[in-house]
Structure 1
Amino acid sequence: MKRIRTLDNCPPGLENYLNCEDDRAHWQGFRDHNASASYKELMETLSKFQHGLCGYCEIRLTELNRQIEHVIPQSDPQHGPAKSLDITNMIACCKGGSFSDWSGNEDRYREPAKKNLSCGQKKDNSMNANFVDPRELPALPSLMRVSPNGEIRVNANACSSAGIVPERVTDTIEVLGLNVERLRWAREKRWKALKNSWNSHWDDLDLMNAAARVELLPDGENDLLKFFTTTRSYFGPLAERVLKQQPQEWI
């Protein structure tokens, strides 16, 4: 999980709905507004803003495998209703391994499905006080690291420098199911692909610097490659040097 930004302004469709409905506005009403065109506009806006990655697990979002996630659940009795149409409470996420039409792609769906749910599907209505919103993460350093076997875990040293209790990150990984076998396997596969491409070139620092930029920075469509934190962990200190450079358009 990486730092993502919050939208500065509502897309036109959501703004129009809020202006029209005022105090009567609610989430399902917005979803139905303008034959769902406004919802689709918001979904597309959030996806592009996040460089095409799920805000939690960093898998690539597709038209059939994405949804709008309320970071504070709508079921939260204290804040949920007020936050249901608040743009600062929304991020784009995948469907967390719940979409069986992806059964041919084990990155996205794997049996047993219940044991491989992640992201919003796993988090559901959890209101764990330790949960870390990805928009509250520091850009640098990464509070999570990925091992060659695909396991994601807390980076205790980074947490210390950022003033964040490591247990909060550990709890966030657990709440989101980021270490379910489906995702662990997918990250391991990504690590192996990076290893096969670049392991024999570490003696050429100029080449590896260029490689890190290609693998970590947005492409011509402003998209990032899947499993950003896996790539970041593979390149290690070199990744942090590349990501520190301005403008930090990867956030």
Structure 2
Amino acid sequence: MKRVYKTTIEPEALKRYRLRFPEETWEHFRRRARHGYQEVKQQILKDQHGLCAYCEISIKLAEQEGEVDDFRVEHFFPKNATQEHGHNYHLDWRNLLGVCHGGSQPYVPDAQWRFSANKGDRSCDVPKGGKPISEIILNPLKIPGDVRIFRYVEHTGKIEVDDTSCPKYLRRKAKSTIRELNLNAPRLMRMRLAVIQKLEDEIAAELEQGAQLEDVLTLLAETCLVPDYEGRTLPFFSVTRWYLGEAAEKIISTSGDKL
């Protein structure tokens, strides 16, 4: 999970619908304002640089007939809390995040890589469901972006809380986030390990050609962490950030983009 810098400007179609129907549900908005729903999805994709707000896999849209987007809109505070709290979480722009299907959808692109028939291998909003856990997990919209919260085990891809850099007041929630969202699902560990191994190989290849390590790390940080011309970032941002260390922190602190 990384910081999400959500635009403060609510998509116009959502705003109009919310003001006209303040007690309506998200499901009704999707059905009755389809263009508005697409507008919301596009803004979420842009704000999140194309990454799942929880696990950081790339959000992949359907490319062929029979496929479905590996993308859905998640409500951080569950919709079923609306009545209890007297606030309509259904249509609250600040409550909407973009997430993957958490390994539960067999018809997404690259399903052989993204889908798992094992229910214990599901992650993100799948285990979260409508459970009242919003107060015990990290909110991607509120975590600091200028410090590293997580670290990874190099030979397994396992995610852990980075006690050397994660603020103390966030450590309990960070551990709870890993557990509740099942961010150490074997499927995710496998994908993160592939990212680590690719970085290792690229660094080794450049060093064999005589490049200086500092230059290689800086170049990789720029390539992997800064959004491309379409505004998308490579998957597993936080893995790359951790692996590249200070080179990554320099790019994040000096970039004009909110990474």
Instruction: Tell whether the structures are fold-level matches, with TM greater than 0.5.
Output: yes
Match for 2:231 among 222, 228, 232? 222
| Aligned-pair CA distance for 1:111 | 2.8
Instruction: Report 1:1-251 matches (<5 A).
Output: 1-21=1-21, 23-34=22-33, 36-63=34-61, 64-76=69-81, 78-79=84-85, 82-102=88-108, 105-112=111-118, 114-128=119-133, 129-148=135-154, 149-159=156-166, 162-201=167-206, 203-250=212-259
| 3-state secondary structure, aligned to 1:122 | helix
Residues 23 and 88, structure 2, Cα contact 8 Å, conserved in 1: no
Distance in 1 of aligned mates of 2:187 and 2:2? 19
| Aligned-pair CA distance for 1:4 | 0.6
| Aligned-pair CA distance for 1:200 | 4.5
Deviations along 1:79-111, one digit per CA (max 9) or x if unpaired, are: 385211110111111111111124854441123
| Aligned-pair CA distance for 1:218 | 0.8
| Aligned-pair CA distance for 1:163 | 4.3
Distance in 2 of aligned mates of 1:232 and 1:215? 9
Residues 24 and 90, structure 2, Cα contact 8 Å, conserved in 1: no
Deviations along 1:22-75, one digit per CA (max 9) or x if unpaired, are: x343222211123x2211211111011110000001111122110111000112
| 3-state secondary structure, aligned to 1:91 | strand
| 3-state secondary structure, aligned to 2:60 | coil
Structure 1: runs of 5+ lacking an equivalent: none
Residues 83 and 89, structure 1, Cα contact 8 Å, conserved in 2: yes
Structure 1 residue runs of 4 or more that deviate by more than 6 Å after TM superposition: none
Residues 5 and 48, structure 2, Cα contact 8 Å, conserved in 1: yes
Q: 1:110 to 1:212 in 2, by over 3 A?
A: same
Residues 52 and 224, structure 1, Cα contact 8 Å, conserved in 2: yes
Q: 1:182 to 1:45 in 2, by over 3 A?
A: same
| 3-state secondary structure, aligned to 1:134 | coil
Residues 25 and 91, structure 2, Cα contact 8 Å, conserved in 1: yes
Identity among equivalent positions (%) equals 28
Residues 17 and 33, structure 1, Cα contact 8 Å, conserved in 2: no
How many residues matched?
Answer: 245
| 3-state secondary structure, aligned to 1:95 | coil
Give me the CA root mean square deviation.
1.9
